[in-house]
Structure 1
Amino acid sequence: MKNTRDLDPSASPLDYYGAELRRLREAAGLSQRQLGDIIFCTGSLIGQIETAHKVPTRPFSEAVDAALGTGGTFTRLLPLVLKSQLPPWFQPYADMEQRASYISAFESQVVYGLLQTEEYATAVLGAVTLDKLTERVMARLERQRILTQENPPLVWVVLSEAVLYLEIGGRKVMREQLAHLLTFKDAEWVKIQILPFTAGAHAGLRGSFTILRSEDAPDFAHSNGYEGGHWTANPQEVKSRSLRYDHLQAAALSVEDSAAMIARVMEERYGEQPEPDGRTLA
């Protein structure tokens, strides 16, 4: 088991975070318990994070920065820590995503990751394995912060209608997820279209994919796979994906009609329903 004597700050962003937390806490003359009392957590939690046994959260990082007067050191470190929790094959995509000025995404089965609620993301990411589930969910939620940054990318998402009906996490989670999608109805930088079943055969039958464009790097395309993802900056492949995406947008409902469909499915499929005895089932 790791302890504070053999923690190597260069091993990973998480190890560096833990080593810095211990160094600055001790420099302030505080025990783990005393720092925990100040930021309303246990000394045990402080110890787990200092030894890289637990991943810190954003509220924890902000509280530590305030308590130790670090000027935001730990809050700035947190994105690196959380990105390190992503699968290695996904990290190049996450780097490009942070730099993107335009994101085009098609999803055939699940809500696009940047638009997922915490509960929905937990159900999606926990479907195959529960290993480091909390950390993986935190990393996904951290990625969503690009939607609220000062200069957000334009995110245009096409979702298959099947996404609305595939009940992930239960009816309550689905209702909250669809309600979350509706919060983007009037958003300037996020647009959502639904590709209806009536579209029939379409350009997205090969599966979900994303195209990232930025002002200072080549365009970049990513597609999902069973054991990982495939990403490419090959101009011809990106051009081919872009053409497929144009076809999907053309076949999808308008942004306004898509919002109406989401609202209808949310109420009809996931709204309150009476049980046979007349009671209301939430």
Structure 2
Amino acid sequence: MPNTTDLDPSKSPLAFFGSEVRRHREKTDMTQKDLGSKLYCSGALVGYIETAKRFPTDEFADGCDKIFETDGSFARLWPLVARLALPSWFREYTEFEASATSIRTYQAQYMYGLLQTEDYAREMLRMGRHEDLEAKVAARMERQDILMRQDAPQIWVVLDEAVLRRRPADNGIMRAQLEHLLSYRYDPNMVIQVLPFSAGIPTSADGSFNLLTMNEGADFVYSEGVGSAHVMAHPDEFKQAAFRYDLLRAAALSPEGSAGLIASLLEEL
């Protein structure tokens, strides 16, 4: 089971929610498995929620109120948890990413992190003037280990054409990156589409975002700003973002047409 001893309730609304679940559970002498059986979920999910590694659903919050007789406290807290802005949260995001069953992502400016070659990642991080460059490159490459797992998530990537045309000064880096994209052409767990300039203004003109579907716990939307990350686990907001993503997929080139465009850009280098 996940370790609860390191949880800091002041870190975020999600952490506070988890700490309250743990506090009431322990007060009633229930194990995580006991609580999970009453909430019709696994004990592991209870542990993940208690350690802020999964988002609770509204049904989970309502169930806690009934079991602990907390007069709607968890239900009132849940909307704050579901509309969650967390600065400097990317380390935690990678744990969610590694547990997702499917990932849908739209990338407006840069190559999706799970698809970056090491040299492309290094160049991008160097241009961002990040400290500990090699450590950050290594961490990004380590993220990609999930693609090699037997239970790898299903991933659907929509890349704006700008991503493919914004090239490092060294053409060799971009050449290797485009070849890497083409290597996924027939991968059963990966679909790559390109949103061409000819499609006009994209339905997500405000930037990139990811949709993560979890095996247990609430699905959520993840996006980044300057020095911060924004997460939305409210089902209405997830539904709206999913619809926006479907519009992006519909406007994009087919996977085969996208591979053809990538191949043509490769020939230009």
* Interval containing the TM-score (normalised by the shorter chain): 0.5 to 0.7
Counterpart of 2:231 in structure 1 is 231
Does residue 1:180 correspond to 2:184, yes or no? no
Q: Distance in 1 between matches of 2:163 and 2:140?
A: 19
Q: Classify the secondary structure of the residue corresponding to 2:253.
A: coil
How far residue 88 of structure 1 moved from its aligned partner, in angstroms, is: 4.2
Runs of 4+ in 1 over 4 A off after TM superposition: none
Measured after TM superposition, the shift of residue 93 of structure 1 is 1.2
Instruction: Work out the CA distance in 1 between the residues paired with 2:265 and 2:91.
Output: 34
After TM superposition, give the deviation of residue 178 of structure 1 in Å.
0.4
Q: Distance in 2 between matches of 1:192 and 1:238?
A: 21
Question: How does the TM-score come out when normalised to structure 1?
Answer: 0.63
Question: How do residues 151-166 of structure 1 correspond to structure 2 at under 5 angstroms?
Answer: 151-166=151-166
1:161-215 per-residue CA deviation (whole Å, 9 max, x = no partner) reads 1111101252110010000000000100011000000000221211000000011
Distance in 2, Cα, partners of 1:126 & 1:210: 24
What residue number does 1:47 align with? none
Shift of 1:228: 2.1
User: CA contact under 8 A between 1:117 and 1:177: conserved in structure 2?
Assistant: yes
The corresponding residue for 1:260 is: 260
Separation in 1, partners of 2:119, 2:209: 23
For 2:179 and 2:137, how far apart are their aligned partners in 1? 20
Aligned residues with identical type, % of pairs: 43
Q: 1:232 to 1:169 in 2, by over 3 A?
A: farther
1:121 and 1:167 map into 2 onto residues whose CA distance is 12
Aligned residue number for residue 250 of structure 2: 250
User: Contact between 2:88 and 2:229, CA under 8 Å: does it hold in 1?
Assistant: no
CA distance in 1, matches of 2:126, 2:225: 17
Alpha-carbon distance in structure 2 between the residues aligned to 1:237 and 1:185: 31
Aligned pairs for 1:105-254 (under 5 A) are: 105-254=105-254
Deviation by residue 1:226-271 (Cα, 9 ceiling, x = unmatched) = 2122112121221111111000000000000100100000111x1x
Partner secondary structure for residue 243 of structure 1: helix
Gapped runs of 5+ residues in structure 2? 1-5, 7-86
SS of the equivalent of 1:203 reads coil
RMSD: 1.5
Sort the Cα spacing of 1:263 and 1:217 in 2 relative to 1 into closer, same or farther, 3 A: same
CA distance in 2, matches of 1:203, 1:104: 15
| Counterpart Cα distance in 2 of 1:237 and 1:173 | 37
Is the CA contact (8 Å cut-off) linking 2:178 and 2:266 kept in structure 1? Answer: yes
Highest Rg: 1 or 2? 1
Residues of 2 paired with 1:169 and 1:148: CA distance? 30
**1:127: how far off?**
1.5
1:110-154 deviations in whole A, cap 9, x for unaligned?
110000000000111121224111111111111101111011000
Residue matched to 2:15? none
1:126 aligned counterpart, secondary structure: helix
2:122–2:133 CA contact under 8 A, matched in 1? yes
After superposition, the Cα gap between the structure-2 partners of 1:254 and 1:181, relative to the gap in structure 1 and judged at 3 Å, is same
SS in 2 for 1:246: helix
| Structure 2 residue matching 1:217: 3-state secondary structure | coil
For the 8 Å contact 1:106–1:210, the answer to whether it is kept is: yes
Aligned 8 A contact 2:191 2:255 in 1: yes
Task: Look up the equivalent residue of 1:199 and give its one-letter code.
Answer: A
2:103 and 2:155 in contact (8 A); partners too: yes
Q: Which has the higher contact order (CA 8 A, sep 6+)?
A: 2
Mapped to 1, the partners of 2:97 and 2:237 lie a distance apart of: 18
Task: Verify the 8 A CA contact 1:115 1:181 in the aligned structure 2.
Answer: yes
**In the alignment, which residue of structure 1 is the partner of 2:50?**
none
Q: TM-score, normalised by structure 2?
A: 0.66
